[in-house]
Copies of this chain bind each other. A is one copy, B any other.
Amino acid sequence: MLIADLSVREQILETANRLFYEQGYNLTGINQIIEEAGVAKASLYYHFPSKEDLCVEYLKKRYKNWSTLLQRFLANVEDPKERIIKSFECRSKYLVDTHFGGCSYTRIIAEMPQRSVKINDQVIANKEKQRMFFIEQIKKMKGTRTVAVSDLANAIFLLFDGATMQCQVYRDLHPMKNALKAVKMLL
């Protein structure tokens, strides 16, 4: 589990990333994190003022990892429509790789009805970045659009997000396939 050559801070964050996502935020204790990260408790609280702050960094990391994966998938793909389709395929791979863990942002929200401002803002920021990806692609698309750019992008984003969640629930890729079919209907 321990990854060599990682600073203590990175070791903590990497371990928290794994445990928060695999077990859930509320079910993961600070003690388990420091134990599995192989660091002292004071070290955790030296780098992260609280579990809540660690959660915010976790959310940032999740977005960074997703973004990296997506960029790899989209390298050499120019056509906007093709980029949208590829992003759904990227999501499918992500879901399989994570054993259908679903969207980490959504899950954090679901776990914390009494959302803190910090966590709320980070989740919204991450979601908005995902939404903007679709906005950008639709904007780039040629052809006279009969519907507004944002309406189409938002619809695709809803399908993307909805399918991610349903894949988690059903532990199967079929919702993502259905979402892709719907996207093709809309485009």
Contact = CB atoms under 8 A, between A and B. Distances in A.
A109 B161 contact: no
B109 A169 contact: yes
A110 B102 contact: yes
Contacts of A24: 26, 110-113
Given A110-B111, A111-B26, A155 B181 contact: yes
A27 interface: yes
A186 B151 CA distance: 13
A105 interface: yes
Interface residues of A, number: 41
B124 A170 contact: yes
Given A159-B162, A181-B151, A168 B111 contact: no
A158 B170 contact: no
A82 interface: no
A179 B182 CA distance: 12
Contacts of A111: 24, 26, 110-111
Contacts of A23: 113-114
Nearest to A20: B113
A154 interface: yes
Contact of A26 (B27, B163, B169): B27
Given A27-B26, A158-B179, A186-B182, A110 B107 contact: yes
Interface of A: 22-24, 26-27, 101-102, 105-107, 109-114, 123-124, 127, 147, 151, 154-155, 158-163, 165-166, 168-170, 175, 178-179, 181-182, 185-186
